[in-house]
Structure 1
Amino acid sequence: MAASLLSSPTAKVKKQKSILSFMPKSGESVSPPDKSEKRKKQISEDATSDETERSSTIKVCRPNDIEGPERKKPKVVPQKFQHDWLRDYSWLRYDNEADAMSCALCIKHGKKNAMTDNNKNFKTTSLDRHAGTADHKESVTAENMQGQLQKSVEKLVNEKEAAALIALKSTYWIAQEGLAISKYESLLDLLEEMKCPNIEELKCTKSINYRSDKTAGEMISTIATVIRRDLAGKLMASPYVSFLLDESTDIATTKKLVLYARILDSEFTPSTHFVTNIKIESTTGEAIYNELKSVMNEPGRVIPPSKVMGLGTDGAKVMTGTGKGLTGFMLRDNPMMLNYHCIAHRLALVTSQAANQVAYLVDYQNTLTGIFYFFKSSANRVAKLSAIQDMLNEPSLKVKEIHEVRWLSTYIAVQTVYRTLDSLLTFFSSDQDAKSKGYAKKMIQYDFVASTYLMMDVLPIVSEMCLVFQKEDLDVSQVKVQVDHARRALEKLKAGEDETTYLHELKEKHLTIEGGKFVFKGNHILQGKQNTESIKLQLIDQILKKLSERFPDDDSNVIYAFSILAMRPLTFLSKSERKTWGEDKLEVLIKQYGEEKVTQQVTQEPLINPGDTRREWAMVKELVLHEGYKRDKMTELWSLVNKHHKDDYPNLLTLAALALIAPIHTADCERGFSAQNATKTALRNRLSPDKVNDILTIKLEGGG
């Protein structure tokens, strides 16, 4: 219906009229229409329209609806964030993704304003206006106060930490130097007197401070715990482990067990470490085995028996017995493991047992022991002997004691007598004491003087070998080399081929014949028979015999078999000789580690493949020569092979690892007992076993 009304002539006329009524006539100015007049006219028109027209809706066009020239709108330039504002307003933050800015301080301190909710009013005036608001000023004040508090707290914490570090270093130094823990407080007093910074922070209050002996003891325990944790990681990381152990008593007659471990690191470098020094209730093989198992299974340090491939001991039956001895219990857990009788102990047995087979030398050693106690009991005798030594231009030395458990003590005692023999003879011949006359009668004998010179020829050969056998990281290949060298030197001495010996010096320089009698250094007429040559032959023969018994050169000696891995003779062998060199010793190792071993408790799988091991051995000899690898030390050689050819020689690297961790001597255990006795002294005999263990851990494993 609306369409029919709009199409009628009357509607068209009215529509046209309504439109034209808004248009100005020609030459007529445009003025705003009178609103009241317009309203009256509109009412009149509405009243005269018919009922149908009043019900219709007529759209009125406004001036903007009339087509005409396009009107230009003003160009709006969008506002952008200026990144220089970040430099000028330190609290301002800009979010690239949201294209909005905010105040970091107001947000941090929980304010709610226009600058805390992605503000896009990018104007300098907006920033300046915000900087002057109460919210922002409160946030700035809070931030400044917080910064000052934080700096104060940080300064306080740093000072406390520095003071704690001083305390830890002080206790560490005390343990390293073997000083009494009671010296801790006086050490801190000294540091405070020397103006050591922050030391006063150890005094918290009048009643609470960290300068007491109890605090020092707790810090020592803490340091020791950290060191043990680090060692536990090394033990578990090593492919194999060997243990060295010995038992003794401390000054309080407490039974103690000292334990060391020999391990291999990722660079194929072996090392020996102090593990523990613990109190034991019994020294039976089973009791020691139980203590060792407890150490192996401590929390954070679990070492399976299959990983323990060597056990180094002093050779006592309780250690080496395969039945109820420690070795027997360990072999039942791991039949692949080997027991090593300490080579230094074996060598000490060689010399002591050899000397005991020569009757005169037994009496000779007893005389030296008697002389030691003769002077030990009297300061006046020592002073008189010292005066005689000065007069005769001999060194002022005290007579030394011979200890069976100290490997070099015999040589040191004999050397002292040799260097002051003229003074000793003068002292005893001039002293009126009955004991002095008895010693003078013994020492003036030709055989006593000659035996002293003889022992100075023989003992250095053995002592030199003993010193080598006590090296911390002794190369296993050196054992046979040293034993063979000592044999050759003794054979040469026995034959009398060397004219640089002490015996030769005695006959050529220090003895003269006056009236058919031998005179020593022009002062002392020697008496008695001349059996020195017989004594020499007996002693050397016995030493050679004991060397063969203690260091057998047979096909079953695993230590000697390991020595082929050093490959030192390769350069001097022809190609055909190299082809077969070392094969016999290799078979000894294959028999030990390339066959399955079974006990009632376990079955140990082979560690190496026999066939692959033989093929690797044939190739590695040519490789070492071709590459020119150094063979001075077995460690260096196999470190190179491990670094550059690890995948080519897995079986030989396993054998090399076993050779490098072999506990061929227990000199480290003796060092551990020396450290124990230096720590728990007569003045510190109340130190608990745990505290002694903590101190030894720091002293022996803590480093410099």
Structure 2
Amino acid sequence: MHQKHLKAVEASKESAYMKTARESATTKSESAVTSALKNVYFAAKQNMASSAVPALNALCISQGVTQLCDLRVDSRTTYEHNESVTEFQEAISDVLRLDLSTKIQNSGKFSLMLDESTDISVYQNLIIYIRLLERDCFGTVSPQTYFLAINRLERANSESIYLKTIELLGKKGIKISELCGVSTDGVSVMTGHKSGVVTRFKKTVPGVLATHCIAHRLALSCCSSADNIPYLVKFQEILNSVYKYFKNSPKNMATLSAIQTVLQGQTVRFKEVFHTRWLSFEGSVDALVKNYSSLLSVFLEESSGKALSLYKPISTYKFLYVAHFLCDALKPLAILSKMYQKKDLTYSEISPLLSSTIGTLEDLRDNRSGHMLGNFLKVTPQEPKLDEAGLCTFEFEGHTIRDSQKQRTESHSVCSQFVDGMVKNLNSRFSDNSDGAVLTSMSNVFDPLLKVCDASGDLDTVSEYLDTIGFEGSRSELTSFANFARASHNNGNKSVTDITSVANLAIKNKDSFPASAEVAERLLVLPVSTADCERGFSKQNIIKTSLRNGLSESNLDNLMTISIDGPEMSKFDFKSAFKMWSSKKTRRILQ
């Protein structure tokens, strides 16, 4: 009996030792996998190829991170090969998607931004971003934008895009009934009145509001304004010819650098002008003006037919006047473009930014008040003057410039025509359609500086819109809230200062003003630009290159999810990623 007792005690000790050993082995394995997940995360955030992860692991081991050695279970089993790296990426991206899913549920309402493009493998892809509402620790609601997915399209028509989007929302458990708005680039496949993607969404979900990306509208306004002026078309051709003259010749570039070193002038790289991205014009004109003296010296030094053909058109008063005017005029347009591409821009910000830019352009046209043009005019004669040879010339930055009264008249005309056309196009392209009119009325209802009596028509428009989404007879409530918001503002409530803060006031008082809160949430969540989609395609092209053109659709989606929305490494939950990875299937390293 005593012997049996001793054997039982020994067996119990062995069992305890085995349990401790297993726990220790599991802890070591978890540590190894967590370290590998961190390296995979780092590589994805830095847009490194997945094939670089084993080398990154080896580097870490050589630096003393010995736990990574446990990724090799035996001679046949390792967790560093391509399939394992892909599984690590999937686990990380699943954690990010789960977090986004929680945010979508908490937001309730959401909007979509859609765009399509072609990748390096000549596949057509649909990229989708989602805009939702988040509350901070003080209860203030603000819109946030996240990458949702990138999907391959067999055909880039409206039906395919619509069905692919509906399928994606269903897979992610996102209720289509909560969709408030859709923003696109305005092409017919997206906005067609009969069967466009937006039209299909409106038939499915009452109350969906659509916006044409304001950044696209701005670029189109600039293109149209320049294309209608022959001299600006020629001006653009000259800029591109100068760009190619140096881009295609190391000799010409070396000559320019040598001259700039002697003259101690500014060295600014020439830039190409793209017609579809007309606002790149600003960088091109700025580079030419800053390199002007050196540029003329290069052309005179070379004395080739090509150099002289470029020297002649740019050594005139007309060219210089237009170039300096454009430096001034394109600056506010470039600022407006950047503001319109700002992440989480709200509809209420569009009109003030546009109005201020138009005012600046008109002032530049009427008063020639620009800094660059002013400096140019200070060093040029007020009227054309004859030189000793009987020609109208003047000296500018050490070079002889041809001049005439005709050139001066034409240069003033070109600049005035450009601003006139720009203002006309901006007003035309940014005029409200039916959805825009609703959004404008929403903004006016929440504008604390606009008197309620002056917003009567806006209250009617918003009330009619609310009727279509189940909030019948809301006119009186909207009026009551508008009066309450104005009273709060007029009585010195410092938290009620603009449209966004008034919208938050409505949301915080949702129980008392449900219809007003509904309008506020829809106004805030509606996207006004697809700039995030454009940034997403830029990220796609950084990740999927000619050397990585075999990336599958799912791998590309995982890598973009991590690269775009992954937080800095110290803030990512690697424990959740480990649990996600280990729960997918049985792992030998954990046994």
Q: Secondary structure at the match of 2:99?
A: helix
Q: Which residue of 1 aligns with 2:61?
A: 192
Partner Cα separation in structure 2 for residue 144 and residue 634 of structure 1: 71
Which residue pairs with 2:363 in the alignment? 492
SS in 1 for 2:449: helix
2:157 to 284, 287, 306: 284
Cα displacement (A) at 1:139 = 5.8
Alpha-carbon separation, structure 1, partners of 2:459 and 2:50: 54
- Write the mapping of 1:45-56 to structure 2, written as runs, cut at 5 A: none
Alpha-carbon deviations, 1:289-327, whole Å to 9, x = none?
1111111211x42322x3222110111111111112212
- Alignment-derived partner of residue 540 in structure 1: 419
Which residue in the other structure is 1:667 paired with? 531
CA RMSD across the alignment: 2.4
Conserved? CA contact 1:511–1:520, under 8 Å: no
The share of aligned pairs that are identical, in percent, is 28
1:351 Cα deviation (Å)?
1.1
1:505 partnered with 2:378: no
Q: Distance in 2 between matches of 1:310 and 1:625?
A: 32
User: Quick one: which of 166, 169, 173 aligns to 1:296?
Assistant: 169
> Which residue identity does 1:303 align to in structure 2?
K
Does the alignment pair 1:155 with 2:31? no
Q: Does the Cα contact within 8 Å between 2:380 and 2:396 map onto a contact in 1?
A: yes
1:93-242 mapped onto 2 (5 Å cutoff) = 141-242=10-111
Q: Deviations over 1:368-419 (max 9, x none)?
A: 1122222221111111112222222222222101123436311111111111
Q: Using the alignment, how far apart are the partners of 2:439 and 2:296 within structure 1?
A: 47
Cα displacement string for residues 620-673 of structure 1 (whole angstroms, at most 9, x for unaligned residues): 321344461434665455445534x33122211111111111110111001001
Can you list the C-alpha shifts for 1:457-501, whole angstroms capped at 9, x where unaligned? 211121111111111011321111011111211221222163x53
Amino acid of the structure 1 residue aligned with 2:479:
R
Q: Is 2:114–2:128's contact at 8 Å kept on the other side of the alignment?
A: yes
CA contact (8 A) 1:629 1:637 kept: no
Residue 87 of structure 2 aligns to a residue in which SS? helix
Flag the 1:260–1:621 CA change in 2: closer, same or farther, 3 A.
same
Q: Following the alignment from structure 1 to structure 2, what is the Cα–Cα distance between the partners of residues 509 and 366?
A: 27
2:468 corresponds to 1:618: no
SS in structure 2 at match of 1:399: coil
Which stretches of structure 1, 4 residues or more, deviate above 4 A after TM superposition? 133-143, 510-514, 553-556, 631-637
Q: Give the letter aligned to residue 431 of structure 2.
A: P
Cα distance change, pair 630–483 in 1 and its aligned pair in 2 (3 A): same
CA deviation profile, 1:587-643 (whole Å, cap 9, x unmatched): 33223x2223xxxxxxx5347723322222222321344461434665455445534
Return closer, same or farther for 1:587/1:383 CA change in 2, 3 Å cut-off: farther
Shift of 1:137: 5.9
The structural deviation recorded for 1:265 is 3.0
Q: Distance in 1 between matches of 2:295 and 2:516?
A: 58
Question: Which residue of 320, 326, 332 corresponds with 1:461?
Answer: 332
2:555 is the alignment partner of 1:691 = yes
Report the equivalent of 2:577.
none
Gap regions ≥5 residues in structure 1: 1-110, 112-132, 571-577, 597-603
Matched, 1:584 2:457: yes
**Aligned residues of 1:608 and 1:651 also touching (Cα < 8 A):** no
Aligned length: 554
Q: Is 2:383 aligned against 1:519?
A: no
Conservation of the 8 A alpha-carbon contact between 2:445 and 2:458:
no
TM-score w.r.t. length of structure 1:
0.74
Does the Cα contact within 8 Å between 1:511 and 1:521 map onto a contact in 2? no
1:345 matched to which residue of 2?
216
- Larger Rg belongs to: 1
SS at structure 2 position matched to 1:395: coil
CA distance in 2, matches of 1:256, 1:437: 46
Which one has more relative contact order, counting CA pairs under 8 Å at least 6 apart? 2
Partners of 1:425 and 1:524 within 8 A in 2: no
Instruction: Name which of 447, 467, 473 aligns with 1:595.
Output: 467
Distance (Å, rounded) in 1 between the aligned partners of 2:497 and 2:379: 41
Over 3 Å counting, the alpha-carbon distance change for 1:141 and 1:649 in structure 2 is same
Taking a change above 3 Å as real, the CA distance of residues 683 and 608 of structure 1, as seen in their structure-2 partners, is farther
Residues 537-585 of structure 1, C-alpha deviations (whole Å, 9 max, x = no match): 1111111101110122799623332333553526xxxxxxx44243333
Q: Give the unaligned 5+ runs of structure 2.
A: 569-591
